[in-house]
């Protein structure tokens, strides 16, 4: 075998492995989303039905994850809670991605005073520890799931604005964009049809990698009482509600904690795989 063929074979094996990982983790993430969509029909019991006669029952054949202090089936509450936890996270990531991208493109394209003002504002947001700043904002807003999403969105958009701005500045001087400007196309048309499709790759990769982080931070706010409120089934809130019984009834806390662990791990692995797949070197280009 020619030695020059060895690097090519390694690149092909790496590329095929990345594609396989992408299919596996993409399928797992899709299953999680599908389960959250149809969670109402997957619950073996009513997740909000209280039955004190079976309160604090340990895991068994009737209740795989046991029951909580009110006799509610923990497996059903974890399943129904996936809708709140996963959908809230995806909504949050969508908000910060779109908002940050629009601000970054606006700053990079127009520049001047607008760029200076918005970038200094983003510097202020980036100067504070993210979760601490989100706690402050959520506390001012009064808690609740919607306010928790607003709080995390308020402190998370600068990263996307920075990426979009740097990509816009890099693309702004390219020949194809200068030709589009000289052709008389409107600014909106140039940005939507030419600029955004060429800068969206790194932004989408960052968004995928952020899903796990945002899920943890949203659950953290709920755990601290600044997110979803009982009796709403949300994983962070469920862990907070049962933390006083962690030593005596660990399964009540373990069930939503396991759901968070699995979901975050799947989305993180999917994000890492998408990043590897989008890397031109990993694809042998």
Q: What is the pLDDT of residues 50-95, one digit of tens each?
A: 989 999 899 988 899 999 989 999 999 999 999 999 999 999 999 9
Judged against a pLDDT cut of 80, whether residue 111 lies above it is answered with: no
Mean pLDDT of 21-42: 93
Q: Which residue has the tokens 């140039």?
A: 190
Identify whether the C-beta of residue 32 lies closer than 8 Å to the C-beta of residue 86: yes
Report the distance separating Cα 73 and Cα 49, nearest Å.
8
What percent of the chain is modeled with pLDDT above 90? 38
In a domain, 86, yes or no: yes
Spatial CB neighbours of 70, under 8 Å, sequence gap ≥ 6: 50, 51, 52, 55
**278 assigned to some structural domain:** no
Question: CB-based burial of residue 266 (10 Å sphere; 0-12 exposed, 13-18 middle, 19+ buried)?
Answer: buried
Residue 176 burial by Cβ neighbours in a 10 Å radius (0-12, 13-18, 19+): exposed
Q: Is residue 26 part of a domain?
A: no
Q: Is residue 112 part of a domain?
A: yes
- What is the pLDDT confidence band of residue 280, given thresholds at 50, 70 and 90? low
Is residue 166 in a domain?
yes
pLDDT for 10 equals 65
Q: Is the pLDDT of residue 96 over 90?
A: yes
Q: Taking all residues of the chain, what is their mean pLDDT, rounded to a whole number?
A: 86
Q: How far apart, in whole angstroms, are the C-alpha atoms of residue 17 and residue 23?
A: 10
Beta bridge partners of 67: 73
pLDDT bracket for residue 258 (50, 70, 90) = very high
Tell me: pLDDT of 1 over 80: no
Task: Inform me whether the pLDDT recorded for 224 exceeds 90.
Answer: no
pLDDT > 60? residue 156: yes
User: What's CA 15's distance to the chain center, in Å?
Assistant: 26
pLDDT at 4 over 70: no
The Cα 152–Cα 141 span in angstroms is 12
Is residue 279, in this structure, part of any structural domain at all?
A: no
- CATH number of the domain encompassing residue 204: 1.10.3720.10
Is residue 142, in this structure, part of any structural domain at all?
Answer: yes
Domain limits at 88? 40-269
A 10 A CB-CB count for 104 gives 29
How sure is the predictor about 285, in pLDDT bands with cuts at 50, 70 and 90?
A: very low
Look at residue 18 and tell me whether its pLDDT is greater than 50. yes
Q: Does some domain include residue 207?
A: yes
**Number of folded domains in the chain?**
1
């Amino acid at each position: 075998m020619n030695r020059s063929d060895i690097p090519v074979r390694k690149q092909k094996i790496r590329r095929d492995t990345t594609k396989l990982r992408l299919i596996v983790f993409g399928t797992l993430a899709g299953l999680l989303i599908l389960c959250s969509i149809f969670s109402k029909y997957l619950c073996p019991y009513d997740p909000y039905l209280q039955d004190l006669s079976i309160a604090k029952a340990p895991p068994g054949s009737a209740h795989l994850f046991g029951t909580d202090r009110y006799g509610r089936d923990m497996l059903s509450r974890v399943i129904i809670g996936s809708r709140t936890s996963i959908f809230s996270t995806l909504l949050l990531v969508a908000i910060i991605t779109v908002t940050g991208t629009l601000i970054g493109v606006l700053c990079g394209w127009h520049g001047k005073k607008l760029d200076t003002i918005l970038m200094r504002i983003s510097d202020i947001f980036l100067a504070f520890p993210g979760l601490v700043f989100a706690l402050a904002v959520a506390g001012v807003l009064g808690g609740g799931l919607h306010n928790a999403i607003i709080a995390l969105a308020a402190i998370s958009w600068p990263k996307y604005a920075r990426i979009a701005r740097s990509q816009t500045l890099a693309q702004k001087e390219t020949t194809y964009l200068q030709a589009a400007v000289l052709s008389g196309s409107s600014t909106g048309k140039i940005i939507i049809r030419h600029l955004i499709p060429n800068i969206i790759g790194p932004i989408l990769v960052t968004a995928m990698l952020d899903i796990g982080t945002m899920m943890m931070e949203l659950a953290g706010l709920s755990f601290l009482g600044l997110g979803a409120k009982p009796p709403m089934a949300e994983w962070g809130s469920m862990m907070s509600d049962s933390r006083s019984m962690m030593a005596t009834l660990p399964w009540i806390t373990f069930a939503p904690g396991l759901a968070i662990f699995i979901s975050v791990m799947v989305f993180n692995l999917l994000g890492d795989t998408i990043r590897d797949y989008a890397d031109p070197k990993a694809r042998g280009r």
